[in-house]
Structure 1
Amino acid sequence: MLHKELKEKQRKLRDNFPEGLALRVHRALSWLDKSEQCNQDLDCQFIFLWVSFNAAYAQDTECLSLNETQSFSHFLEKLDKLDSNSMIYNLLWNEFPNSIRVLLSNKFVFQPFWQLHNKQITEQEYGQRFKDAKRAANYALANEETAKLTSIVLQRLYTLRNQLIHGGATWNSSANREQLKDAVQFLSQLIPYIIDIMMDNPNELWGDAHYPLINK
């Protein structure tokens, strides 16, 4: 599902969207479009895809007393219940199961690995956290818990996002090509599904955009 197809759908439906949803979808589509224009640059694709994801789900996390990963976990649970065509389910279990297993075993996208190297936690603490995280991921895999597994995957990709956004990686670095390649392939399908589900459910409470459009 590409930007062009979603944009055509949005033009047909947007007059019936609440203001908050209309703004979220419009912004998310704009960044999805930009990501598709950068198909030779994995770093840019990943960043623009993540911005598109943010545009779709972002809430005022300070008011909600939630951090960002908790916020998008709640968002994904809602999407899973509304996904009548099982698009996200099929993405996880039919298209990317092997890539997801590799990603979940990759220490470089597991935040406690970097906390260990920055001497914020001990080797023992890191080992326990990695074991616990793998157990949670395996449970979600074994029980086909779509929202939970999607949340775990995005938590890993959030570490990759932080590396790029906060200057913790070099542009076009050979060190993170495989992680970025898998991340882009996954997000480039997940984000359009998210936008599509939101457009199919305009009467759900998606929330006002955190940064609304202000006319002077």
Structure 2
Amino acid sequence: MTDILDHAALKTKQRAIRDGFPETMGLRAHRAISWIGRAEACGEDDDARFIFLWIAFNAAYADEREFQPVAPRERAAFVDYFGRLVARDAGRRIYKALWQRFSGPVRMLMENRYVFNPFWQHHNGICGFEDWEERFKASSRSFAQAFQAGDSIRVLSFVFDRLYVLRNQLVHGGSTWNSGVNRAQVRDGAAILAFLMPVFVDLMMDNPHEDWGRPFYPVIT
């Protein structure tokens, strides 16, 4: 089983090969690795670990134009990024992480209604989400089919849909730090990201000339 990559290993590799990186990809890798390192320094603080790892994810994949007024759907950007990663994952490290190391936490995440967006839409009184339970069951069935089929791209899409709800709860103040309730999704979410993010960045460094997108916020001095 693949060992967990850490910040030190990623940084050592980056320094050894970064001269061959296109400028935009090099910036993405540099920024993502820095946030992975910051997440490692959080120790057992799962809330902080999750937030810093999500920043690393944004640094690696995001076309920041999506944060501007005319933006493509973020979920579509997720799927595009996952597709490029999986296509270049010759060692099937993502697949092994999802189906072997984290199959339990991933399944628990998918069964958790508190990270299912229509659940919150309904409980906030927004019309059109009275059927959130049916949607939840349908989503679970679709996830199970993707999981059984070994479809890494679809599985990642489902997982990150749930993690995005958790991200919103934390970043927008919808959760208490180190709360005594609903901790499983924070703990599992941080653990999943802590394994996947270094793998994502490592695959990017192995394929530097793939079009990983141009950061909207380049370094300007």
Give the TM-score range, shorter chain.
over 0.9
Equivalent residue letter for 1:149: V
SS for the counterpart of 1:176 is coil
Identity %: 44
- Does residue 93 in structure 1 map to residue 90 in structure 2? no
Q: CA deviation at 1:112?
A: 0.6
Quick one: which amino acid aligns to residue 128 of structure 1? E
For structure 2, the 5+ residue unaligned runs are: none
Q: Does 2:47 align with 1:50? A: no
Question: 1:122, CA displacement in angstroms?
Answer: 5.2
- Structure 1 residue corresponding to 2:18, chosen from 14, 21, 24: 14
Mapped pair 1:151 → 2:157: yes
Question: Is the Cα contact below 8 Å between 1:162 and 1:168 reproduced in 2?
Answer: yes
- Deviations, residues 167-210 of structure 1 (Å, cap 9, x unaligned): 00011111131111111111000000000000000111111112
Letter in 1 for 2:38: K
Give the equivalent residue in structure 1 for 2:191.
Answer: 185
1:195-214 to 2 correspondences below 5 Å? 195-214=201-220
After TM superposition, the structure 1 stretch with the greater mean CA deviation from structure 2, 113-122 or 186-195, is: 113-122
Deviation for aligned residue 1:131: 2.2
Indicate whether 1:134 and 2:143 are aligned.
no
- Tell me the SS of whatever aligns to 1:174: coil
Q: Which residue of 2 aligns with 1:73?
A: 79
Does the Cα contact within 8 Å between 1:19 and 1:208 map onto a contact in 2?
no
> Contact 2:6/2:198 (CA < 8 Å) preserved in 1?
yes
Map Cα deviations across residues 55-105 of structure 1 (whole Å, 9 max, x no partner). Answer: 000112259842222211110011000111111000001111122111101
Counting matched residue pairs gives 215
Paired amino acid for 1:14: R
Normalising by structure 2, we get a TM-score of 0.93
Q: Separation in 2 of the partners of 1:121 and 1:28?
A: 38
Query: What amino acid maps onto 2:135 in structure 1?
Result: R
Output the CA distance in 2 between the equivalents of 1:210 and 1:123.
35
Q: Is the 8 A contact 2:119 2:129 kept in 1?
A: no
Contact 1:141 1:149 in 2 (8 A): yes
Task: Tell me the amino acid that sits aligned with residue 148 of structure 1.
Answer: R
Give the aligned residue type for 1:45: R
- C-alpha separation in 2, matches of 1:148 and 1:164: 25
Is structure 2 residue 111 aligned with structure 1 residue 105?
yes
Residues 15 and 63 (structure 1), Cα distance of their counterparts in 2 relative to 1, 3 Å cut:
farther
Supply the distance in 1 between the matched residues of 2:70 and 2:47 (Cα, whole angstroms).
31
- Judging changes above 3 Å, is the alpha-carbon distance between structure 1 residues 145 and 64 closer, same or farther for their aligned structure 2 residues? farther
2:185 and 2:46 map into 1 onto residues whose CA distance is: 10
Instruction: Work out the CA distance in 2 between the residues paired with 1:127 and 1:202.
Output: 43
User: Corresponding residue for 2:200?
Assistant: 194
CA shift for structure 1 position 130: 1.0
Q: Distance in 2 between matches of 1:33 and 1:63?
A: 31
Aligned-residue offset at 1:124: 4.1
Tell me what 1:34 maps to.
Answer: 38
Alignment CA distance shift 1:121-1:96 (3 Å): farther
Equivalent position of 2:28 in the other structure:
24
Report the CA distance between 1:123 and its aligned residue.
6.1
Secondary structure (helix, strand or coil) at the match of 1:85 reads: coil
Shift of 1:135: 1.8
Q: How far does residue 129 in structure 1 lie from its aligned partner after superposition?
A: 1.5
TM-score normalised to structure 1 length: 0.95
